[in-house]
Structure 1
Amino acid sequence: MSARTFAYWATTAITVFMLLSGGLAYLLRADFAVGGVTALGYPTYVVTILGVWKLLAVPALLVPRLGRLREWAYAGIVFDLTGAAASHLVVGNPAFHQIMIGGLLCAAFASRALRPTDRAAADPTPRATARLAHP
């Protein structure tokens, strides 16, 4: 196994663990998870929405040949984590939250950047590219 492949799977494992643990905690309505979200000022129903989205991102990251769906999952992870960082900042939580979120965001970025070519989204068809280049 090459160093790049190892790094891809290590960062993907961190990202998947974050999604699984967070999604399950949200869907199981763990007190700490619900309390954390409501302390940020969000209604409790947001916990269920985020829990479902996090769990749906897991197979999108792990199942081969889901390139376009995988790209959407990575985008959702960025939306989730940057939204969490901004929310913690606005309510005045300690910098520890931003540091942890930043680390998870770095892992997700590294996972996407290191993904093998067979896990990348398909390039647009030449016809579509030509249409974009010559309107």
Structure 2
Amino acid sequence: MSITITPRTSILIRTGVYWLATLPVVVESAVGAGWDLLRTPYVLDTFDHLGYPAYLLAILGVWKVLGVLTLIVPGFPGLKEWAYAGIFFVYTGAAASHLAAGDQSMAVATPIAFAVFTLISRGLRSSARFELTSIVALVIPVRRLADK
């Protein structure tokens, strides 16, 4: 049996994967921004453990809010690049900080997973994401799997 993916189906799959990667990033960043701005005890304890000053929470919280808004509001492609970069830096910085502090593997793996979601979201968000080459790149592996 052969499965043929039409260009429309391919676009729908790609859009679905985009949102599956984007939603966790947006939700985590929004919740994290709230926790940072409210200076919750958990975040204060974590920052203290990692050796960061508490005033950094206000800076990170404001930038996270702006990043989330940038990702969910249509348009502003240049600004979205900055938002993706900033969010990626937050996650990779968190992973490196926990690693340097000798924390458990989940404290390192979780921000790395969110960094990967951020990269996937960014890759699928591209203004060129619906070009024919992108569609072909998605369709060919699906057909190869169907032939097995």
Give the TM interval when normalised to the shorter protein.
Answer: 0.7 to 0.9
Output the CA distance in 1 between the equivalents of 2:59 and 2:34: 12
- In structure 2, runs of 5+ residues without a counterpart are 1-10, 130-148
Q: Deviations over 1:55-100 (max 9, x none)?
A: 1101110111110000000110111111111111111101111111
Report the residue type matching 1:46 in the other structure.
L
TM-score (norm 2): 0.76
Aligned counterparts, 1:15-26, within 5 A:
15-26=25-36
- Residue deviations 1:2-42, cap 9 Å, x none? 11001111211111001101000111111101111121000
Aligned length: 119
Residue type matched to 2:92 in 1? T
TM-score relative to the length of structure 1: 0.83
> What corresponds to 2:49 in structure 1?
39
Question: In terms of Rg, which structure is larger?
Answer: 2
2:108 alignment partner in structure 1: 98
Residues 41-80 of structure 1: pairs in structure 2 closer than 5 A: 41-80=51-90
Distance change >3 Å, CA 89–CA 101, structure 1 → 2:
same
Taking only aligned residues, the RMSD between alpha carbons, in angstroms, comes to: 1.5
Shift of 1:116: 5.0
Instruction: Determine the C-alpha separation between the residues in 2 that align with 1:63 and 1:8.
Output: 15
Identity of matched residues, %: 41
